[in-house]
Amino acid sequence: MDTGAALAEISKGFGVVCWRGRYTRSLWALVRCEDGWRLVEAASPPELVMAITHPNGWPWP
């Protein structure tokens, strides 16, 4: 599965907006956390899923 298809599946499955950074080449998602909304960054689709499911403790960015 290519990255675009994986991001579409993640976005649909978790109800979040996610994308691949044009310049950073990282994967990003805008998610709800304890303090409101937060951007999370990841290097791969599986890592992005972890970031989405654990946004409060995610170290990036």
pLDDT for residue 61 = 64
The tens digit of pLDDT for each residue in 2-61 reads 999 999 999 999 999 999 999 999 999 999 999 899 999 999 999 999 999 999 987 866
Q: Report how far residue 45's alpha carbon sits from residue 32's, in angstroms, rounded to the nearest whole number.
A: 18
Q: Whole-model pTM? A: 0.90
As a residue count, the chain comes to 61
DSSP-derived 3-state class of residue 53 = helix
Count of CB atoms within 10 A of residue 4's CB?
10
Q: Report how far residue 11's alpha carbon sits from residue 45's, in angstroms, rounded to the nearest whole number.
A: 11
Range of the domain at 24: 3-57
Count of structural domains, the chain: 1
